[in-house]
Amino acid sequence: MTSRSREIMRRATELFPGGVNSPVRAFRGVGGEPFVVERGDGPRIWDVDGNEFIDYVLSWGPLVHGHAPPRVIAALDAAMRRGTSFGIPTEGEVALAEAVTERMPHVEMLRFVSSGTEATMSAIRLARAFTGRDVVLKFDGCYHGHADSFLVRAGSGVATLGLANSPGVPQSLASLTVVAPFNDLDAVEQLLRLNQVAAIIVEPVVGNAGFIAPDPAFLPGLRELASRHEALLIFDEVMTGFRIALGGARERFNVTADLTTLGKVIGGGLPVAAYGGRRELMELIAPSGSVYQAGTLSGNPLAMAAGLATLEDLSPAVQECIATGTARLVHGLRESAMRYGVPLTADCAGSMWGFFFRAEPVRSFADAKTSDVERFRRFFHAALDRGVYLAPSAFEAAFMSSAHDDAVIDATLDRLDDAMRASK
């Protein structure tokens, strides 16, 4: 039996640490070898051996219209023919920025960058400059990219590998990051009293410790505490932006952050991210202000075109339809678990969803870690064998796209029901 995937991964392992260019891709959280993908179309992907999967990872969030959506491909094709990069202002940047600010009016001004890591790193620099303070408050299990300041209790990728922290991060820098449990306002208040905190940064709905929703009082409480202690509130919406609602956390929870970071969906599968917020803050960024941040490929015309086509096709009606499909999938998954007596808690927000093998609801990363990870591994592989690709870690959210129609969701539920039975 020959496997192209195995052969390519053997070559990859010689060239890349762990055979991959981003750690969770290596399947360390579930065991076994990753497959090598050849192409995608709508809700489906095919590996180089011809196996077909319904995809709920969707490039870890960006692909809100599934793979190779015709409108995005057409926009890319047109942009590409005009040239791939200039390093000179283009109208595409303005058009995408207008599409963002229209949906998120609290983002009065923004700056495009090329990855979520850059967005959060820059937002923190700005918060530190504005407040004249050094300490950043984050939450256990939240991931904000791999900048040094954030690799402290940083969720999925780090958790999957069992690393509490990362070597190479200077202790002097790590000590400027303080960590509270998610959904714990008392802990936040205590940290704010003890430290000169520049910013509280949070995933408004956690997707990097598995899917964890905020308690109703949590985000309003953070807003109030941040204001009282003169710290900025940063919503890291790299994952939740354009997914939990078109207007993100502000629309869904009616809480407004001072700064917002965006990524993933905003680039429609190309490398785009952004940070933005109140004008008085953003005007501190160079060249209008003195906080330095730059990027050769920032605002890249291909990336802008893909992002704009993606947002234009994500109307309120389309968003509603994806959210309905997501809720139906989650409901069906719960029914399967009940049918086989499997303890499971599952939840969703807009087009983001997730589940844990644990009977009680999960409110924090500590809760998440008590879920049955062994059962997740069995379920993941049983689902994969039946043609459903879930994130290869018990601590990742799943996604839905406008390409996952009712027939695709029904097929998924049949397969996951059988996977639930088989992995019981």
Ligand X SMILES: *Cc1c(COP(=O)(O)O)cnc(C)c1O
CA distance 403 to 66: 5
238 binds ligand X (CB under 6 A): yes
Structure tokens at 189: 């208040």
239 binds ligand X (CB under 6 A): yes
375 binds ligand X (CB under 6 A): no
Q: How far is the CB of 119 from ligand X (least distance, A)?
A: 7
273 binds ligand X (CB under 6 A): yes
262 binds ligand X (CB under 6 A): no
CA nearest 408: which of 27, 47, 53? Answer: 53
Query: In this structure, are strands 259-262 and 232-237 parallel, antiparallel, or unpaired?
Result: parallel
301 binds ligand X (CB under 6 A): no
From the list 32-40, 100-108, 114-122, 132-140, the region that binds ligand X by CB under 6 A is 114-122
**Which pairs count as long-range contacts for 186-191, CB under 8 Å and 24+ apart, including other chains?**
188/137, 188/221, 188/222, 188/225, 189/225, 191/137
- The beta strands (E) that lie in 164-218 are given as 177-180, 197-202
140 binds ligand X (CB under 6 A): no
Q: Please list the active-site residues.
A: 143, 236, 264
Place of tokens 């490398």: 271
Q: How far is the CB of 271 from ligand X (least distance, A)?
A: 7
Query: Residue 234 or residue 337: which is nearer to ligand X going by CB?
Result: 234
Cα→Cα distances 290→38, 129, 277, 294, Å: 45, 9, 17, 12
Partner residues linked to 355 by β-bridges: 346
CA nearest 302: which of 75, 41, 69, 119? Answer: 75
Q: How far is the CB of 422 from ligand X (least distance, A)?
A: 31
160 binds ligand X (CB under 6 A): no
143 binds ligand X (CB under 6 A): yes
Looking only at residues 181 through 220 of this chain, which bind ligand X when binding is defined by CB under 6 A?
203, 207-208
396 binds ligand X (CB under 6 A): no
User: Cβ-closest residue to ligand X?
Assistant: 116
3-class secondary-structure state, position 130? helix
Query: Which amino acid, residue 234?
Result: I
Binding-residue pattern over the window 120 to 139 for ligand X, x denoting contact by CB under 6 A: x-------------------
Provide the 8-state DSSP code for 36. P
From the list 1-9, 79-87, 179-187, 233-241, the region that binds ligand X by CB under 6 A is 233-241
Partner residues linked to 26 by β-bridges: none
From the list 82-90, 130-138, 234-242, 315-323, the region that binds ligand X by CB under 6 A is 234-242
CA nearest 117: which of 262, 18, 254? Answer: 262
Binding site for ligand X (CB under 6 A): 115-117, 120, 143-145, 203, 207-208, 236, 238-239, 263, 273
